[in-house]
Chain A
Amino acid sequence: MGAGHSHPLYLAGTSAVHRLPAEVKIVAAFLGVVCVVITPREAFAVFGGYLLVLAGVWVCARIPLGWIARRSLIEAPFVVLAVLLPFTGGAPSVEWLGVSLSEPGLLAAWNILVKGTLGVLTSLTLAATTPLRDLLLGLQRLRAPSLVVTIATLMLRYVDVIAGEARRMRLARIARGHDPRFLWQVGATARGVGALFVRSYERGERVHLAMLSRGWAGEMPRLSDAVTRRRDWLVGLSPVALAAALAVTGLVTA
């Protein structure tokens, strides 16, 4: 069980983007999304500009376009609301293929769709270039509360173990002829979840004892003493500078 070393969205690489310290990338991703969110929705061209900036980052990080595109489908369920908007919005309306669509509704749908998509693409870029360990180190360096970082570290180290346990329990149920189709047949699954909780909690007790016996003093040791140089910040935030310029353009022109 190789727990906690990688995650499904990580794309191994050694590009300049991969080598940037994680805290720089987290801050850059966050500021980038902020720029997208504050851009007025009528500034159509500006959103194209954001996409170009992201594409530039993908080229630097050697992330294939298809790889990003396939994974961006993750967004689909979150934009359900957007589909409804053109049909329920107010006047004035436009005719399109014989269907009357509300103009403010269309604009609102575009707003949610484009900002949500750019947000997901940014998050995907961050996840693709940052391994787990670095991400936690980055959170620590950004002065996230140490308790939260420690809990997140342990959680990420054990999630594969617990998920593997859940998978084996499911296989065991299926092997014994379990084939639920309706909500009221959920008993066995739910008892499995209960057993999973008891096992997780008891594992937590054992992990705690093991940690104590290895000198746990309530704080995760720093695993790396690499320092973040000013140059890293400058390089990492350069796409954000472009995004900020785009946001200002959008705010001024719209």
Chain B
Amino acid sequence: MALAMHMSDGLVSPQTALVFGVIAAIGLAIAASRARSDLDDRTAPMAGLVTAFVFAVQMINFPILPGASGHLLGGAIVAILVGPWVGSICIAIVLVVQALLFADGGLTALGTSIVNMAFLGVFTAYGVALVLRRFARRSRAGLLVTAFVAALLNVVVASLGFVLQYAVGGAGEVGLGTVFALMVGLHTLIGVGEGVITAATIGAVAATRPDLVYLLRGSRPPVEVRGRRTEGAPS
């Protein structure tokens, strides 16, 4: 599903890559300091395991149509489950490791990829989730719809980040309109798939361990009796 999300070297001009590299580094530093306050001394082990989860999730393929399958990007999942600061660090580390160990995405394009997916994507998802939080807390359906919309916009905005970088310093000769239409069209489709999976995943977590859902923090009554026991049975 991550078609042009992992950018290769030479796709944007060196100056653009440099500027976004600096933005990514500053963003990471801010996120690291804010993540500490979200998780206190548990930061490193918890964030490490959540990052491993994102990595593993990206290996799980699911069918879209016969013959075509995709995998989750996970930006909205982490934004809703562990919050935007820890979430963006997790996604950024996944991107760094993929570039260094798996040759996925270019080294000089790392800054642009991190800005797109770790910051634009995760924070869009979290922003959407915050706007809809009242709705999400009220009912299970509300939570699922929130997760779906957050994941859809996460993917679309991350692809818009690519379009922006292309507009600033693209190396190709394709008109901006074509790139815009291609990227946004494609990623809207991808986003629908991402949204369906994200909603079902968040639903499953909220049914078993609602206390783990960052978005729902502080909103749950101490004891809650659920009618539908089967819904959250561990698979």
Contacts and interface: CB of A to CB of B under 8 A. Distances in A.
Nearest to B11: A112
Contacts of B94: 155
B168 interface: no
A70 to B, nearest CB: 12
Contacts of A71: 103
Given A74-B104, A194-B201, 11 more contacts: A81-B179, A109-B172, A112-B10, A119-B9, A119-B10, A152-B48, A152-B51, A159-B56, A192-B60, A194-B207, A201-B53
A193 B107 contact: no
B117 interface: no
A114 B106 CA distance: 12
A9 interface: yes
- Chain A: interface secondary structure? helix
Contact of B100 (A135, A145, A187): A135
Given A80-B4, A112-B171, A204 B50 contact: yes
- Chain B: interface secondary structure? helix
Nearest to A212: B41
A193 B60 contact: yes
Interface centre among B51, B77, B175 (most CB of A within 10 A): B51
A177 to B, nearest CB: 14
Interface residues of B, number: 83
Interface in B49-73: 49-53, 55-57, 59-60, 62-66, 72
Interface stretch (A32-40, A225-233, A235-243): A32-40
Interface of B: 3-4, 6-11, 14, 17, 28-29, 32, 35-36, 41-53, 55-57, 59-60, 62-66, 72, 77, 81, 89-90, 93-94, 96-97, 99-109, 171-175, 178-179, 182, 192-193, 196-197, 199-205, 207-209, 212, 234-235
A152 B98 CA distance: 11
A222 interface: no
A148 B172 CA distance: 34
A215 to B, nearest CB: 13
Contacts of A184: 196
B48 A155 contact: yes
Please name the 4 residue pairs, one residue from A and one from B, whose CB atoms are nearest each other, closest first: A115-B10, A194-B204, A154-B48, A119-B9
A214 B47 CA distance: 19
B101 A127 contact: yes
